[in-house]
Structure 1
Amino acid sequence: MPKQKPDSQNGAKIGQSADENALGRIVTRVEGDVLLIGIDRPRKLNGFTNKMLGELSQAYTDYENGPWRCAILHSTGKHFTAGLDLQNIDRAVSLFPRGLVDPVSLHAPLRTKPVIAAVRGITYTIGFELALAADFIICGSDARIAQLEVKRGLMPTCGGTPRMIERAGWGNAMRYLLTGDEMDAATALRLNFVQEVVDPEAVLDRALVLARRIAEQAPLAVKATMLNGRKSLTEGFDAATAELDAESGVLRGSDDVQEGLRSFIEKRKARFTGK
């Protein structure tokens, strides 16, 4: 399928064709300053193929380079994804094409804009890893989450192991990583894997509410906050705090800070431009 450029019109869909594609596809829709990135292969429980993984990387790259201020990773149908469709995956090539933004944030180039994962139903293996690689997760109460790799003689290779330990601690992470057992939404919330649990039919709507709220904030401040938080995780507390004065100085010189102050004084909503 030829690459299609994002459409800036609200409600526009990207990368769709009239006929359902047997190897699946990634579809996107624009809602104002929010880009919705959809996993679309419901007849196969949204199982990923190489084609879909490549399209997902391209969608993340388009998002990074485009005008949108927040993105939501979601799915069509009642399930997020059953994981990789191993019959349609070429293990001889990289899952995500190098040179494009990596959806699991393991290899450069890394995204600098926020992503919310909206998951429901079956959320297995790479699906959970994609969700954990987002900035936070809105979860349907019907979610069935599992890293099943150990049952197949494999291990998570898209960041699931360190991210599960990071959120839940060694024992809680290993409880599920070493058994491959499934967890429900309530357990995922208790272990800090997800941030909110809502009715399955409300998952995308709730994610969109929060995405719009993020999109209203100053883009430079959102980016700086994410980068400083990422530095803390990868390089430690001291490395992150050492850059605070310099980063804050850059923000203080921005037009958005002046707009933020004016809006406070004038008791109105700020209109940030990202400058």
Structure 2
Amino acid sequence: MTETTPPTTSVQPNRVVIERLGHVLLIGFNRPEKRNAADLALLEQLSLAYGELDRDPDLRVGLVHAIGDHFTAGLDLADVGPRLGATGLDMVPEGGVNPWQVDGHSVSKPVVMAVQGTCLTLGIELILASDVAVAAESTVFGQIEVSRGILPFGGATIRLPRAIGWGNAMRWLLTGDMFDAREALRIGLVQEIVPDGTQFERALALAERIAAQAPLAVQATLANARVAVRAGDAAAEAQLQPELARLAVTKDARIGMESFLTRVPAVFEGR
């Protein structure tokens, strides 16, 4: 498999680089000299990138990756620690969306992750808040907050037990131990392991595959699954028929039917 180098073009300098590739928004951590540890600037710029993904109807999928050898070493406690106030950490500027989606607002588009090297704390929580994750085979993971005297505050205590089971979650949450990509795949934290250096290429292929589907249908599917998780099966069931009726009269539904009848690949418009 040919190695693909993530793009480094940015519309804003410093901690996060973004680039549009068709209907995919590439969002890259760009602090490699610090193993992409997240200071407040990185957190704010990441929030703004998620806000752009959420708002722009031309964007259908986000792909989060990292420049350098490591995905993230977690929080830069030296920078973030002094900023913690009585109500926690204020990290979402106007126009942003909390990437960890623990404030009641979820990004409406799917997010694919490509991780490598070290993936600690907020990196794992970002995977849990996303939809599909690809890991390089040498990636190591750790939810190490208990070793620093704090608790995970990006959703791991909520999502990890649900995603991988109570015992598996407590094994890693309560010990702060590190684990490898094979364990991450076994417990379902990531969906694929690929050779080192190919994680971005594989994640991009998945993101583009999602982006090629009918975007309104993708967003409705994602939203209904989230309702089931947050509000229960009955709440999600109540929305199924109304959502089906709404989607059935869209132009994309007509395009999808024509594709089925003619066997010509569909080119969806998001209408």
TM-score (norm 2): 0.92
Letter in 2 for 1:49: D
Unaligned runs of 5+ in 2: 1-6
Deviation at 1:110, TM superposition (A): 2.2
Letter in 1 for 2:194: V
Letter in 2 for 1:80: F
Provide the rounded CA distance (Å) in 2 between the counterparts of 1:219 and 1:132: 22
Deviations 1:20-55 (A, max 9, x none): xxxx51001221111110000001000001011000
Provide the rounded CA distance (Å) in 2 between the counterparts of 1:131 and 1:210: 15
Provide the rounded CA distance (Å) in 1 between the counterparts of 2:139 and 2:19: 24
Unaligned runs of 5+ in 1: 1-10, 18-23
Provide the rounded CA distance (Å) in 2 between the counterparts of 1:170 and 1:116: 25
Partner of 1:3: none
1:96 aligns with 2:91: yes
Partner of 1:246: 242
Partner of 1:15: 11
1:124 aligns with 2:114: no
Q: How does 1:172-211 map to 2 (within 5 A)?
A: 172-211=168-207
Letter in 2 for 1:68: L
Provide the rounded CA distance (Å) in 2 between the counterparts of 1:91 and 1:140: 33
Partner of 1:64: 54
Deviation at 1:96, TM superposition (A): 2.6
Letter in 2 for 1:63: L
Deviation at 1:109, TM superposition (A): 3.6
Letter in 2 for 1:94: L
1:136 aligns with 2:132: yes
1:51 aligns with 2:41: yes
Partner of 1:7: none
Provide the rounded CA distance (Å) in 2 between the counterparts of 1:28 and 1:103: 15
SS of the residue 2:97 aligns to? coil
Partner of 2:31: 41
Off by >6 Å, runs of 4+ in structure 1 = none
SS of the residue 2:18 aligns to? strand
1:212 aligns with 2:203: no
CA contact (8 A) 2:47 2:93 kept: no
Q: Alpha carbon RMSD of aligned pairs, Å?
A: 1.4
Deviation at 1:12, TM superposition (A): 8.3
Deviation at 1:194, TM superposition (A): 0.7
Provide the rounded CA distance (Å) in 1 between the counterparts of 2:165 and 2:90: 28
Provide the rounded CA distance (Å) in 2 between the counterparts of 1:240 and 1:200: 39
Deviations 1:59-112 (A, max 9, x none): 111111122111101101111000011111121362531652110011244210
Would you say how many aligned residue pairs link Structure 1 and Structure 2? 259
Deviations 1:171-195 (A, max 9, x none): 1100010100001000010001111
Provide the rounded CA distance (Å) in 1 between the counterparts of 2:161 and 2:206: 26
Partner of 1:8: none
SS of the residue 1:14 aligns to? coil
Provide the rounded CA distance (Å) in 2 between the counterparts of 1:252 and 1:15: 37
Provide the rounded CA distance (Å) in 1 between the counterparts of 2:157 and 2:138: 23
CA contact (8 A) 1:53 1:95 kept: no
User: Taking CA–CA contacts closer than 8 Å with sequence separation of 6 or more, which of the two structures ends up with the larger relative contact order?
Assistant: 2
TM-score (norm 1): 0.91
Provide the rounded CA distance (Å) in 2 between the counterparts of 1:170 and 1:68: 35
Partner of 2:72: 81
